[in-house]
Amino acid sequence: MVASHAYIKLVPSSAKETVSTEDIKELFQYFKEITSKTGSQVAWSYNEAAFPYEMKEMPEGKGKWFYLKSENDRYNIILLGVDKETFINEDGIEQEQTYIQITLPESSTFGDKGKANEFCRFLAKKLQGELHLFNGRVMYFYPRK
């Protein structure tokens, strides 16, 4: 599989203007928590199948990026990072916007892509952002005027 990227852009009407890797880690823990609750409701260890990843962080990525690693055969790795970009708004004014980049390296599987899409939608909904999917499509989760 070729490396691919998805982005969640925080627009002016998003729930937050900026986000940190710590915020994303907290949302990841919350996501794992709610998926495991689904499993207990149906009396099945759904947590292992729902999102079988553990959070890992390298010293050089601290505060910028981290990755989700799976020990399951069907899954491998998903990278997540936070950065800012500058753009020109409709009024011609230069602005800065925060975005989350989700990367599937070449070693990622199609299972990783499915789980990454699921997690991207969850993050975009929670943050009310603009989600640019791996296939180039855009989903809007923020209130429009």
For each of the domains in the chain, give its residue range(s) and CATH number, in order of start.
4-36+50-140 (3.30.310.120)
Give the model's pLDDT for residue 92.
86
The Cα–Cα gap between 11 and 15 comes to 9
Place of tokens 């892509």: 113
Q: Work out whether the CA dihedral 123, 93, 83, 105 comes out positive or negative.
A: positive
Q: What is the pLDDT of residue 52?
A: 85
Residue-by-residue DSSP string for 90-117:
TTS-EEEEEEEEEEE-TT--HHHHHHHH
**pLDDT per 10-residue tile (average), the chain, 145 residues:** 90 90 93 76 62 89 92 92 88 90 94 93 95 96 82
Residues 112 and 75 sit within 8 Å (Cβ to Cβ)? yes
Distance CA 9, CA 136 (A): 14
- The predicted pLDDT at position 41 comes to 65
Q: What is the pLDDT of residue 5?
A: 96
- Write down the residue that tokens 């149906």 correspond to: 42
* Of 4, 16, 5, the residue nearest 141 (C-alpha): 16
